[in-house]
Amino acid sequence: MAKKKQAKEEKKVNLDGVVGLVGSTTEQAVSETLEVNYMPYAMSVIVSRAIPEIDGFKPSHRKLLYTMYKMGLLTGGRTKSANIVGQTMRLNPHGDAAIYETMVRLARGNETLLHPFVDSKGNFGKVYSRDMAYAASRYTEAKLDPICAELFRDIDADTVDMVDNYDATMKEPSLLPTTFPNVLVSANQGIAVGMASNICSFNLKEVCETAIALMKNPDHDILETLPGPDFSTGAQLLYDEAATREIYSTGRGSFRLRSKWRYVKEGNLIEITEIPYSTATEVIMDKVAELIKAGKIREIADMRDETDLGGLKLTIDLKRGVDPDKLMQKLFRMTPLQDSFPCNFNILIAGMPRVMGIGEILDEWTAWRMDCVKRRLYFQVQKKQERLHLLKGLERILLDIDKAITIIRETELDSEVVPNLMIGFGIDEIQANFVAEIKLRNINKEYILKQTKAASQLEQEIAELQDTLNSQRKLKNVIIKELQQVAEKYGQPRKTEILYNVEEVEPDSDEDETPDYPVTVFVSREGYLKKITAQSLRMSGEQKFKEGDTLAYSVEATNKAEMLVFTDKFQCYKTRLSDFEDGKASLLGDYLPQKLGMDAGENVLQIIFPGDGKGFVLFFFENGKVAKVPLSAYETKTNRKKLTGAFSDKSPAVKILSLAADTQIAMYSSDGRAMIFSTADLLPKTTRNTIGVAVMSLKKKAVLQNALLLEESGIENQSRYRMKTIPAAGALLREEDSREKQAAFEI
């Protein structure tokens, strides 16, 4: 029992010790945390993950392609992508999804690169589609594209450094000895910590010609041979010489790209066949749908994605009478059908990130490529010298072949053959081993002469290689010859068309592209608005309204007419009829409070069409006052949609009328009186919320009930109600002057 108790106490002590250790905290300065923990992470992302190097590849690309090369996929048939992904994990210890995604981007089927490095079979998605998912790696197959021969040429000739993989079980190249400036040919994008890289692709043939021209003449104007980038998705480049020179010089800036389209007259439709590299079909479709929903584009009847095996195609059905050129200019301004490709030529040079212009990048590539060629030539010299060394030993043996045969025949032990040959002819062990391995049948005159001739030829080749190694001009000629061969073998015509001197139509603030046509507006008492065209009105039957709702009034206008909607919360909402869809008599129409975003409980009082802004608005209040406000008071320099304090809140508004010129008005009170006055007797007030002028004197508990234009009032004995001065109480309304039709004009 005592031992068990002691063991429990020891266990408790141990547990307490662990808790104390886990729960403890150590203070550390922020600067120390950044230096010890954050900086190594940041540098790892920059150097080993996100930023491409001078060969144009990130480590993930390089590890994948080298694995495929070692698998024999440059000359062999395709294999399952899952197999390639699994093999790549020996160099790239990431998840299979990350490795496969890297392969997808390099694949021909994805169309990301001008010159794909992976010859793919199966669904690899599309770079121009956001939602088109690529198939799983078990369903697709791949091998290296023939152009990869230029990536691995002479890789076994010590052209680049070979380093250990992550667990030091095999070697991998630190760079790939590309024979062309792939860093400019393959588009590359990466986001590191605190920096990023975004390199556009250029035409292979043009890049090779530019590199050659710069090697021959450092003052060569790059624009002469490299007019602009070339993208795998084609489209059109809007050429801007100043912007291009800025990018070529600094490595920063942006190119403007525009979709390629054609008008098909037979179907009255537009077909978009190429889009900017920086966008996707779904992004374009979503933006167009958003603009149509907002009423900013009304020329489009339908838009659909008809992309198939034949390639990308977006189809736009046009409404009758729409100018396709004007519509496309509008779409270019408002959608990603015209987009920019931002450039940030950030490249790792000797492990350090540098933002460089085109000329500087090609200079760095040339210097690096010259080092690769030097290493290759030096490797070849070494191999030839080793061979020559063997042949020199053979020459000494062949001068007295009988002596060599005698030495070998008289040597008792096999292990003593080589030492005896070394002593007998004064050759080293390597040469003696070579001689000892010669077949007996090769000891003849023909073999001897052939080997002697090979030795002299080797000496000549070594001298030529040494001469090339010692000459910068000859080294450049080697690179130039290789560039010419690559350009001739793999060069392709430009995919991106360059548009020079493009005159872009800027949107004119005074120009309204909204189509204009006659419409009739119907407004119900509950605030439903219907805009019906003349053609639809002729074909329509009885107007439909919500149960319990009736027509308040109707008015003829045009589609582009501006509309002022006054509410019982003393506010005014500005809109246009073009913001409302064309309706039918059988529909309820748009509910104005919801359409205009009115406040809760806010109701429509009156709708006014200001036209050219001339004239004035009359506000009739329950207290008998009338405010005369110029329509110009509701003009705004900005696109404000809501005006607060649109009229006075001191007394409820009974009626709001819009008049182009002064006229006579009939006013009615709740105690059965009426009066007629001329609006010319009122002075306009520039402030919208003016309380107005007393026009009708009201008795106790009486309020102003209605106001109508005199010609609409039905009053026959007008002199009875016409007052000489204002304010006035008016006269009792006689039965013959009171008509039921007046109610039709009330809201």
- How far does CA 10 lie from the centroid of its chain? 65
For the record, the structure tokens of 545 come out as 């309204």
| Secondary-structure percent of the chain, ordered helix, strand, coil, rounded to 5 | 40, 20, 40
* CA diameter of the chain: 157
Question: DSSP labels for 705-716?
Answer: EEEEEHHHH--S
Is residue 313 within 8 Å of 293, Cβ to Cβ?
no
3-state secondary structure of 367: helix
Amino acid identity of residue 607, one-letter, is I
Q: Look at phi and psi of residue 597 and say left if phi exceeds 0, alpha if psi is from -120 to 50, else beta.
A: left
Is residue 334 within 8 Å of 284, Cβ to Cβ?
no
3-state secondary structure of 302: strand
**CA–CA gap between residue 640 and residue 571 (Å, rounded):** 13
Phi then psi for 736, rounded to 5 degrees? -70, -20
Half-sphere exposure of 279 (CA within 13 A, CB side): 24
Phi then psi for 639, rounded to 5 degrees? -90, 45
- How far does CA 285 lie from the centroid of its chain? 13
Q: How many residues does the chain have?
A: 747
Instruction: Convert 699-738 to b/e letters by CB count within 10 Å (16 or more is b).
Output: eeebbbbbbbebeebbbeeeebbbbeebbbbbbebeeebe
Query: What count of other Cβ atoms lies within 10 Å of the Cβ of residue 416?
Result: 12
Let me know if 139 is a catalytic residue.
yes
What is the Cα Rg of the chain in Å?
Answer: 44
Angstrom CA distances, 511 to 101, 505, 507, 518, stand at 48, 12, 7, 19
Of the listed 139, 166, 500, 517, which one is catalytic?
A: 139
Is residue 676 within 8 Å of 710, Cβ to Cβ?
yes
For residue 207, give the nearest of 355, 366, 375 by alpha carbon. 366
Angstrom CA distances, 629 to 618, 683, 689, stand at 7, 9, 9
Q: Which helix (H) or strand (E) holds 272?
A: strand 269-274
3-state secondary structure of 448: helix
For residue 274, give the nearest of 121, 126, 109 by alpha carbon. 126
For the record, the structure tokens of 402 come out as 């009988």
Which positions are annotated as active-site residues?
Answer: 139
